[in-house]
Structures are given as C-alpha cells and as structure tokens.
Amino acid sequence: MQVHDLTLMLSLWIASLTGATLLFVISKMTQTITGTRVWSLAMLLLSCAYLSQLTMQNLEVQWRVLTFNTFLILGHSAWLIGTWQFVKRTPTRQKIVWLILPVLLISWLTATLIPERELRITLIGIWLIAVRCHYAWVLYKHTRQDRNEFLAARIAIGLVFLEVFFSVLYTLQGALGNLPQIGGAFNWVAGYTWLAALLGILAGAPILLLLSAGRFVKELEFAANHDLLTGLLNRRGLARHLNELLPLSKRKCDSLTVMMIDLDHFKRVNDLYGHHSGDRAIVCIAQVLQNQFRSADLLARWGGEEFCLVLFDMQPDMAVACANKLQSTFAQHSLQLGLGKTPLTISIGIACSREISQQGFETTQNQADSALYDAKHAGRNCVKVASMTLSLLEDTL
C-alpha cells in the first residue's frame, strides 16, 4: 500500500498539533512538573514543520527545506530539553546552544550556500538519530519512580528505537541520493519513516501525558504526607507509615520508644529575628534529627516547632543518651544560624512501651507529650522520661 508523503504530513500535523494542545493543558494543571510545557512547545514546533510542507509546495525548494528543517530541529531539541527538565537535569544555556546552533548552521549552509542535498540529509539525519537515542537513554536512566512510570518509559523507548531504525534507513538512502523530494514520487523508506514518526507522536503524546500526570500525582501524595518546610513526615504521613510498619515490627522488635521534641522559646525567636529565621531554626532541628538517628526510625514534624520521633527496639537508657546528645548537637548547630551568641535549646519528653501496636503508639505518644510538658515546666532545655517508663529504665540499669 502506497501512502503519499503529503498525506502523512497532514496526519503528522494534526497529531502533533493535538498533542501540543493536550500537553499544554496538562502543563497548566501540573505547573510544578517541569518539562511538560517544553514538550508542548516541541509538539507545536513539529506541527509547524509538517505544516510548512503542506503550505509551501509552490516556493523554491531551498526555502521550503530550510523552513522544514529549522522547525524539525527546534522541535526535537525542545523534546529532549523537556525530558532533561522532567527528570530534574535542567541543561545549561551553553549545552542548549551546542545542541541546536551547529545543526541549524549546517541546515542553512547546505540549503543556501552549499546546496548539497545528500550531505544535508546525512548530517541532519545523524544529529536526529543521536538526539532521539539520547532521549531514550534519559528516559531509561531516570524514569523509575514507580511501576507505571517505568512501563510508560519502556514503551516510549521502544517507539524511539522504531523511529531510529527507519531514520537510519532514511539517512542512508538520502546519502546515496535515492530519496525524492517530499511530495514527489513514492519511496517506501521515506513513507515508512514518516509513518514511524506518526506512530511516535500518536503514542508518544499520551505517554508524555501519562508521565506528567504520574509525577503530578506523586507530588500531591508527597505534599499530603510530608511537611513542605522540612521534608519530614507530617502527622498524616507518620500515621500511614506506622500502619505499614507496626504489623512487621511487632514480630521483630520488643519495644517502641517515642520522643517528643520542642524548640524552646520559639515565639521569642520569631519576634526578635523574624519568621524566616524561625523557619531556619525549624529546618536546623530537622537536619540534626535526620543526621543523628537511624534511617529505620520514623521522624515527623508534629506541628509548629514540635517534632515526634518513633524508635523501634531501643532501650530507655539508650534513648535518654541519644536525647542528651541531640540537645548538645542542636545547640552547636544553632550558633551557625546567626541568631545571637546564645545557642538555641530544645526540650525532650521520652516514653517507652512493650506494646507495639497503633494503640500502643497512641498511649506512648501521649506519655511522651506529658513528659515534654514536664520538661517545659522544669525550666526547658532538659530531658524528661514518662513515669511509666522510669521502671523500664531502672530495669535496664
């Protein structure tokens, strides 16, 4: 079956314009997901390339070729740049210039000053193959956040390899001078190359939509379960993790320890130095906590200047020692904040339980909260252990 090149160009124009519209719409919805808007621009530029072939058939060949190649180069460059941005590898301006400028110069030279069609098709074809292969490599390397993203990326990579296969054939045929002008006689290599490009856009646009929507859902889920200032779990996130971990920990651990940690005189810090400095103090506590404790421990910002730390299989005496070390470490780090010559301090309440369950956590957390309240009333900058935990502490000494 023979399909005229211009018929394929019309299909490519409609598909790429539709893809550009859909990607632009989702980019407005997922503004925190970088790359989607650039993907939309890439599709728009490609649609302009295909439209030029439909509307410029009566112009001189060199201007038609120059226009088509310019939009094609810019479109595929934007596609790759958007992918870099999507995986948080935003390129420098210098890298973008080296990606686009040399091949645009080659396109201009071989269309005007040195009108060598075979050379032009060869050089631009090699560039396009390299760009598409790099796009596939970026997806393969950096899109593994979940199973759906992994699968979508692998489908996209498979489509790219199909495009690259026909692009290699197209480039070889062009280098040998066996390709007619677009809109001329039918050539099966050219026809199937544009058909592969059409398939890439028809399937590629939904895949890009799926990748963008998937990242957006992930960010919403992260925001729902984490504190945006510190990156720690919030109460909801802590409860969710506990629901997952407690059944497993019950079989492996014999104790559950909760620390409630509060920054002393936080209101005074905000009043004297401003809320920005108060936020810096909160972040400082979070960083010290993350560095001081095990990755298996659960750490959450409980609210305001208060933090909750859940430790599995830690004896009360070890928890008290860790709390004292935490106080001294935070005091040292707080001096680097430039909030006066006196270090900031924290008060800590500790409670321990042998019951590893949701109810056990709630009871232990309430006890640790009461111990924290006692620490505040005892003058702050101290560690207090819940009364029911003292007997456990005495047993370990």
Residues 77, 195: one domain?
Answer: yes
Residues 125, 31: one domain?
Answer: yes
Residues 206, 257: one domain?
Answer: no
Q: Is residue 201 part of a domain?
A: yes
Query: How far is residue 208's CA from residue 82's CA, in Å, rounded to a whole number?
Result: 10
Predicted local distance difference test score (pLDDT) of residue 64: 87
- Is the separation of the CB atoms in 207 and 43 below 8 Å? no
Last residue of a domain, one of 188, 204, 225: 225
Q: What is the largest CA-CA distance in the chain?
A: 95
Last residue of a domain, one of 225, 247, 273: 225
Residues 248, 212: one domain?
Answer: no
For residue 76, give Cα distances in angstroms to 100, 158, 201, 328: 10, 17, 12, 55
Three-state secondary-structure class, residue 377: helix
- Is the separation of the CB atoms in 380 and 264 below 8 Å? yes
- Is the separation of the CB atoms in 156 and 79 below 8 Å? no
Cα radius of gyration (the chain): 31
Domain total for the chain? Answer: 2
Last residue of a domain, one of 225, 260, 287: 225
Burial (CB count <10 Å: 0-12, 13-18, 19+), residue 4: middle
Three-state secondary-structure class, residue 6: helix
* CATH classification at residue 35: 1.20.1070
Query: How far is residue 14's CA from residue 19's CA, in Å, rounded to a whole number?
Result: 9
Q: Is residue 230 part of a domain?
A: no
Predicted local distance difference test score (pLDDT) of residue 2: 46
- Is the separation of the CB atoms in 212 and 219 below 8 Å? no
Task: Note the pTM of the prediction, 2 decimals.
Answer: 0.73
Q: What is the pLDDT along the chain (397 residues), one digit of tens a residue?
A: 445 667 888 889 999 999 999 888 888 877 767 888 999 999 999 999 999 988 887 778 888 889 999 999 999 999 999 999 998 888 899 999 999 999 999 999 988 888 888 999 999 999 999 999 999 999 999 887 778 888 888 999 999 999 999 999 999 988 888 877 766 666 788 888 888 888 888 888 888 888 888 888 888 888 889 998 999 999 999 999 888 887 766 667 778 899 999 999 999 888 888 999 999 999 999 999 998 888 778 999 998 899 999 998 888 888 899 999 999 999 999 988 888 888 999 999 999 888 888 888 889 999 999 999 999 999 899 999 987 655 555 554 4
Q: Is residue 386 part of a domain?
A: yes
35: left (phi > 0), else alpha (psi -120 to 50), else beta? Answer: left
Residues 182, 243: one domain?
Answer: no
Q: Is residue 274 part of a domain?
A: yes
Residues 198, 264: one domain?
Answer: no
Q: Dihedrals φ, ψ of 257, to 5°?
A: -115, 135
Domain boundaries, position 171: 5-225
Structure tokens at 240: 């969710």
Structure tokens at 191: 């026809």
Q: Is residue 118 part of a domain?
A: yes
Burial (CB count <10 Å: 0-12, 13-18, 19+), residue 156: buried
Helix axes 275-292, 316-334, angle to 10 degrees: 140
Three-state secondary-structure class, residue 356: coil
Query: How far is residue 252's CA from residue 313's CA, in Å, rounded to a whole number?
Result: 9
At 211, which amino acid appears? Answer: L
Predicted local distance difference test score (pLDDT) of residue 161: 93
Query: How far is residue 198's CA from residue 164's CA, in Å, rounded to a whole number?
Result: 13
Residues 217, 130: one domain?
Answer: yes
Residues 204, 329: one domain?
Answer: no
* CATH classification at residue 265: 3.30.70.270
Residues 210, 247: one domain?
Answer: no
Residues 116, 83: one domain?
Answer: yes
Residues 147, 177: one domain?
Answer: yes
Quickly list DSSP for 292-348: HS-TTSEEEEEETTEEEEEEES--HHHHHHHHHHHHHHHHHHHGGGTS-SSPP-EEE
Predicted local distance difference test score (pLDDT) of residue 79: 95
Check residue 226 and report its DSSP letter: B
Alpha helices of the chain — where are they, by DSSP H? 5-29, 36-55, 61-86, 93-108, 117-142, 147-175, 188-225, 235-252, 266-273, 275-292, 316-334, 358-377, 387-396
- Is the separation of the CB atoms in 6 and 183 below 8 Å? yes
**β-strand 298-303 against 306-312: which pairing, if any?**
antiparallel
Residues 191, 249: one domain?
Answer: no
Burial (CB count <10 Å: 0-12, 13-18, 19+), residue 343: middle
